[in-house]
Each structure stands twice: as C-alpha cells, then as structure tokens.
Amino acid sequence: MSSQAIFAATIAHYLAPIRAYLEDATVSEVMINHADEVFIERDGRLIRTDARFNDQEAYEAAVNNILQFTGKSLGDDAPLIDTRLPDGSRVHVAKAPCARLGTAVTIRKFAKANLDIDWLVELGSLTDQARQYLRIAVRAERNILVVGGTSSGKTSLLNALSAFIPDGQRIVVIEDSAELQLQKEHMISLEARQPDRYGRGAVTIRDLFKSSLRLRPDRIIIGEVRGGEALDMIQAMTSGHGGSMGTLHADNPRDALNRLETLALMSKVDLPLYALRSQVASAIDLVVQMSRHIGGRRLVTYITEVDPLGDDGQYRFRDLFTMQAPPGDESKKKLQLTWTGERSSLAGQLRPEDQDLVTDSTRPLFVTGDQAAG
C-alpha cells in the first residue's frame, strides 16, 4: 500500500463526521467553525449541518492528520496554514491567535468533473463558441490571465483550459499551495514552503519562478499571482514563454491589469510606470473573467484581449465576449455570454496548424477586413 493510500485511509477515518459531505458531488465546500459547528455550500447556498466531532480532542486530531499529509502540524508556529487532501481538495486552517474562537477549517473540494471544459459548457458557465475561441487562443500560445473573486471558479477554468495545451509540451506549475490538477503528461509541479519556527527554509513563489526558468519550460502556469512574482511572470511572458497562464483576484479585466501592475511594483524594482505598463500590456494577451452570480452559478462574464498600450499610456482592451441579454429580452434577466462582433487580434496571424481549428462558429472572429470584403 502506497503512503498516499495510507494517508487517504487514515484521513477518511478521522474525518468520518463529515465524510458524507466530502463524498457528496453537490457539495462544493465544507466549513468547520468548531467541533460541533459544520457548514456546507451546496448550489451556492450555505447550510448548517448536524455533523459534529465527538469532542475538541477528536476535532484537533482530525486537523492534525490532514496537516501531516503535507508535513505540517497544529504545533507549527504559523497560525494560518494551507494544505490539501490526498484527492487534491484545498484546505485552509486558521488557529489561535488569529482565529479567536478556536481552530477553523475550510475544505474547498476538488471535483474532477470541473476539469472538463465541455462540462463547463453543459453547466452554462460559457458558450460553445467561447470554448472554441479559447481552444484556439491556448493553442496559439496566447498568455492568459483568469481573473475573478473568491470561489468564482478561476481554478476550475484554468484546469479546464490546460487540456488544450498540445501534448509533448513541458509545463511547469507554480503554486503557493498545490491545487491545480492539470491533466497533462509532461508536467513539473512546484510548491512554495513556509519558514520553520526559526525563520529558516522558506521557499517563495519568486524563488520557484526563478527556478522554473532553469527547468526548460514550454509554458509556465502560476496558480495565483499575489505578490512581487508578478514582475517575474511579466518578464518571462515577454521573453519567449508564450502560452503561459495564471489566476488573479480582480472584478473585471481592466482592474486585473491595474492590480497586476500594483503587484509588480511590490517587487521593489525601480521601473518607470510607463515602462511597467508597456510590459504588462505586452505580456498579457487575454483576460478571462469569472464571476459568481446569485444562486451560486459560476459564469465566464468577459473574454477580453489586451491591445498594445495607447499613446496616452493607458491600457486598451478588446472585449470579444460579454454578458448580454438575448435579442428581444428587455428585462435583461437572462444574460448570456455573447460575441460582441469584435474581431480577434489573431485575425490573419494564426499559424496553419491553428487555422485548422477555426470552425464555422468562430470564423467571424478571425476573418480579416480583406476577407470580409471578399
């Protein structure tokens, strides 16, 4: 029996009080506030359950067992700990003194179904036309930023998009806490490490990024951009690592680039603002916005290309898909992702092997002015 299987069996034993929810495909998140207070998220709604651990000792034993899977423990000095379950589900543990009322645990479940972009189309998260466009963009090595709020579906979409990466390409994944489950054969996964109680042994995202460049990657994927590593990512994207991807917290594509700019400034590199913005605009080709709507539905609400920086030093955008009401629906209650009529900046620039991916549905996005006139 492998060590992974042993951990899985042991953790399942300790988590018996909530196992039914971990195995329930309709539950997306399990939140344990106290040993006797467990909430779940189902269909976007928070529900208090009757689940409870026998006592505080049993609860802490379960938490310790989860942490040990990634070499951590409640005895660590760090009050905030990220870890994961053997199936890839993400776990965040907050303990005293940061958690004033006692240890709190949130488990974001990993669902394999969410890795399939066709499944996202079936759920209505995006349209088939948008899916086909994104496939072409990934194959054409566009640098893509998936943005959205907390629990908006960014990671699920990034997982799904990775399926479009051609087989045989070497992918290096960089994460603060391993969460991405890319279904690719040639992949190296790097995970950051917190310092020990003496402040030693820390490995930051920036450290991993610098290491990744020496691993001969075809594409680099960052689970979440949240600090000074933004500048490293931008510079890598503009120096031959096309087709890279990452996620970022932002409310819309325009805010995303402004936030990326702010994060890059955290690297403490003295770079003029215009030069930084020029690099950002050159690095990011495409922003895909995920949003969480009433009822818990997670939808792609924008697919926006980034054009070269304007003469005024401002970012310029090309919205290809936005949420719009169907023709004749003046109530605007049934918004759906719709092509805006804009042509892609890739029109006339696709390689022959990528041109073959253009279908009747996506052809209008890639027709040049001369072709349209003809």
Residues 146, 117 within the same domain: yes
User: How confident is the model at residue 1, as a pLDDT?
Assistant: 60
Cβ–Cβ under 8 Å, residues 87 and 75: no
Residues 117, 101 within the same domain: no
Residues 39, 182 within the same domain: no
Residue ending a domain, among 66, 81, 108, is 108
Can you point out the beta strands (E) in 128-242? 144-148, 171-175, 187-191, 219-222
Work out the mean pLDDT of the chain and round it to a whole number.
87
Give 268: exposed, middle or buried? Use CB within 10 Å, 0-12, 13-18, 19+.
Answer: exposed
Residues 261, 309 within the same domain: yes
Give 330: exposed, middle or buried? Use CB within 10 Å, 0-12, 13-18, 19+.
Answer: exposed
Taking residues 201-219, report their average pLDDT.
Answer: 88
Residue ending a domain, among 108, 124, 149, is 108
Residues 37, 134 within the same domain: no
Residues 194, 274 within the same domain: yes
Counted domains in the chain: 2
Confidence of residue 294 (pLDDT cuts 50, 70, 90): low
Residue ending a domain, among 108, 125, 141, is 108
Residues 17, 132 within the same domain: no
Provide the 3-class DSSP secondary structure of residue 94: strand
Q: Give me the torsion for CA of 84, 88, 89, 92, rounded to 10°.
A: 20
Centre a 10 Å sphere on the Cβ of residue 369 and count the other Cβ atoms it contains.
10
Cβ–Cβ under 8 Å, residues 24 and 51: no
Confidence of residue 115 (pLDDT cuts 50, 70, 90): low
CATH, residue 287: 3.40.50.300
CATH, residue 25: 3.30.450.90
Taking residues 152-165, report their average pLDDT.
Answer: 89
Residues 63, 145 within the same domain: no
Residues 363, 350 within the same domain: yes
Q: Which of 81-90, 156-165, 301-310, 360-369 is predicted most confidently?
A: 301-310
| Cα separation, 28 vs 330, whole angstroms | 34
56-69: pLDDT as tens digits: 999 999 999 998 88
Residues of the domain holding 320: 112-373
Q: Which of 72-76, 104-108, 147-151, 187-191 is predicted most confidently?
A: 104-108
Taking residues 6-35, report their average pLDDT.
Answer: 89
Residues 82, 14 within the same domain: yes
Confidence of residue 373 (pLDDT cuts 50, 70, 90): very low
Q: Has this prediction a pTM greater than 0.85?
A: no
User: How confident is the model at residue 263, as a pLDDT?
Assistant: 92
